[in-house]
Amino acid sequence: MRRSCSFGRVYDQPSLRDMTEVKRGGHSPSGRMLTLGNTPTITSNENIGVASMPDQPLDDNDYLESSCEEPECSVAEAESNAGSPTDEIVRHGGTFESFRHRGYTLFWSGALVSNVGTWMQTAVIAAIAYSFRRSEFDLGLVTFVSQIPSLFLALPGGVLADRVDKRKLIIGAQVLLMFQAIAFGILYVTGHLTPATPFMSLALVSFLGLIAGVLTALSFPAWQAIIPDLVPRPLLMNAIALNSAQFQSARMIGPLAAAGVILIAGAVAGTADVFWINAISFLFVIAALWAVRVSPHASPKRVAVPGESAWKSLKEGVRYSVSHRMIGIVILSTLIITLVGMPYVFLMPAVADKVLGFHGATASTPIYYLLLAANGFGALIGALTVASLPHTVRRERLMRWSILATACVLIAFAFTPWLWLSVALSALAGACLLTTNSLANTSVQANVPHELRGRVMSVYITCFLGVMPLSALAFGPLAQQIGTSWAIAGGALVLLAWALVLVARPGLLTHDEPAAG
C-alpha cells in the first residue's frame, strides 16, 4: 500500500496484491477496505468485485489524515496532481456530507434554533428603535453601539480562541446573552421602551446592545474556529458553508416567526413574547455545545510559547494576513463590502417606510419583516450554493463576480418603488452578499494553517463585524440627509468600482506564495 497526496489529503493507493484481493471481493493485506473517504475507489477499468459498504456511518477515524510524507501540498498543487475524480469523490457525498459527524450535527442544530431566536429579537429591536422617532440616525446609532465592540475585541477574541477551550468560551457567552434577552423583555413589558420617552428608550436599547456586542466579539472567533475541530479537513469548506446556510436560514425564519408571533398575540404581548422565545432558544445551543466532544481528527489546541505575549500572537496573525496577497485581498474585499455594501440591511425599516411608501409603524413594520425575510431566503440560497461547490472550484476566484452582482442588485434595490420587485431584489441582494461572504470565509479558512486560524479569522471578523459599526455610523446620518435610496446607491457604486478592479486584475485573487520579507 503506497501513500500519495491529492486534494490536500493523503490517500492509500493500492498495490498489485491489494488489487488482487479487491477483485476477490475481499480487503487489502493492510486490513483496510480500499476507499476514498467514504466512497469505494474504482482502481482500474477491469471488472472489479464490489466491496460492501458498512452498515453504520463511518466515524471520524475512517478519514485519512491531512498530511503527507512530502512537505505539505498547497490546494492548487493537490488539485493539479489529481487525475479526473468523479463528482462524488470530489464532493464527498454532496451538500450535506458534514452531517455524518455527530458533533457537527449537534453544533449546527443548536446554533440554528438559537439564531432563529436571535434574529427574531434583532428584527423586533430594529422596529422598536425606528418607532421612537422614525429616524435613520437612530437605526445607525443602535447598530453602531451594538457592533462597535467587534472593532476592538475581535482580534483579542481570536487570541482567546487559540488559547482556551473554545466550547466553554462559547457556552459562557451564550448564558450571558440569555440574560440580556430576559432584560429586554422585562424593560418592554414594564413600559420602558416606548416612543413616549424616545431618548431614554434609545439609551436602554443601546446599552443592552453594547453588552451583547462585547459578548459576541469575544466569542465569535471561537464560533468560527471550532468548526475545523468537528469535521475532517476534507469537509472543512462544506462544513463552513453549511454553517453559513444555518445562519442565513435563521435570518429568513426569524423575522417571519417574529411577525407571526406578533400577529397572533398582538403588538404588545407578541413583541414581549419574542424576547422570551429568544431567551429560551439559547438553552438549545448551550445543551448542544455541552454534548459536543472534540473529534479525534481535530488538531491539538495551540500551546502558547513561553514568553509569547497576546500582543505578539495578534501581530503574528495580522502579519500572515497582509503577507499573503490572496488572503489580504479577500479580507480587504470583505472590509469594502461591509463598509459600503451592507448598510441596506440595517436601513430596511426606512426602506419600507420612506422608499416603498408604507408610512407609519403599523403599515411599515410588516413590510420590513417581509423584506428582511426575503433577504434571509436569498442568503440561504447563496450559502447552499457555495456549500454545493466541488472542492476543485477555487472559491476566491469567484468573488469578483459575486461582488459585481451584489453592486448591480443594490443599485436596482435602492430605487425600486414597487413592493414585490423590491422583495425579489432583497432576496437577490441577500444571495449575492452571502455568496461573497461565504466564499471569503471558506477561502481564508482553507488556506490558513491551523495554529494561526483563530488569529487570522479574527482579522477577517474585524473587517466583517468590526467595521460594520463604522458603516452604520456613517450611513445612518447620510441616509437622514440625502435619503435612504441615494445612500444605498452611493455605497453600491463604490462597491461596483472595486468589483471592476478585481475583474480587470484577476491575478489579485489567485493563490500566491508569501510576500518576501
Give the pLDDT score at 511.
Answer: 60
C-alpha cell of residue 492: 453600491
- Yes or no: say if 437 and 244 are a contact pair by the CB < 8 Å rule: yes
Beta bridge partners of 9: 6
Mean pLDDT, the chain, as a whole number?
75
pLDDT greater than 90 at residue 496: yes
Lowest mean pLDDT, pick from 41-45, 235-239, 253-257, 504-508: 41-45
Residue whose C-alpha is closest to residue 98's, from 299, 245, 290, 301: 245
Which pLDDT value is given to residue 436? 84
Residue type, 52: S
Domains in the chain, start-ordered, CATH in brackets?
A: 2-85 (no CATH), 97-300+309-509 (1.20.1250.20)
pLDDT of residue 391: 62
**Which three three-digit cell numbers place residue 333?**
474585499
Distance CA(30)–CA(133), nearest Å, equals: 73
pLDDT tens-place string over residues 257-281: 888 888 788 777 888 999 999 999 9
Euclidean distance between CA atoms 79 and 73, whole angstroms: 10
Residue 253 to residues 52, 213, 353, 450: CA-CA distances in angstroms? 41, 22, 22, 33
Where is mean pLDDT largest: 244-248, 271-275, 318-322? Answer: 271-275
Say yes or no to pLDDT of 479 above 90: yes
| Residue 302 in this model has a pLDDT that exceeds 80 | no
Whether the CB-CB separation of 366 and 348 falls below 8 Å is answered with: no
pLDDT, one tens digit per residue, over 131-146 is 898 899 999 999 899 9
* pLDDT, average across residues 284-295: 83
In 3D space, the residue among 279, 262, 259 whose CA is nearest the CA of residue 270 turns out to be: 262
- DSSP state, 79? H
pLDDT above 50 (res 18): no
What amino acid occupies position 428? L
pLDDT at 27: 43
Q: For residues 330 and 276, which has the higher predicted lDDT (pLDDT)?
A: 276
Query: C-alpha cell of 150?
Result: 467587534
CA 245: distance to chain centroid?
8
CA distances to 464, 495, 496, 498 from 340, rounded to whole Å, are 12, 7, 10, 11
Tell me if residue 180 falls in helix, strand or coil. helix
CB atoms within 10 A of CB 369: 26
Task: Assign 421 to helix, strand or coil.
Answer: helix
The amino acid sitting at 34 is L
Structure confidence by residue, pLDDT tens digits, 334-348: 899 999 999 998 899
Position 14 scores a pLDDT of 42
- pTM for the whole thing? 0.66
- The answer, yes or no, to whether residue 512 has pLDDT greater than 80, is no
Q: Which grid coordinates belong to 52?
A: 460492501
Residue of 300 and 414 predicted with greater confidence = 414
Write down the pLDDT at residue 327: 82
Q: If you count DSSP H runs as helices and E runs as strands, how many of each does the chain have, helices first? A: 19, 4
- What pLDDT was estimated at residue 383? 72
**Helix, strand, coil percent values for the chain (each to nearest 5):** 75, 5, 25
- Strand pairing report for 9-13 and 2-6: antiparallel
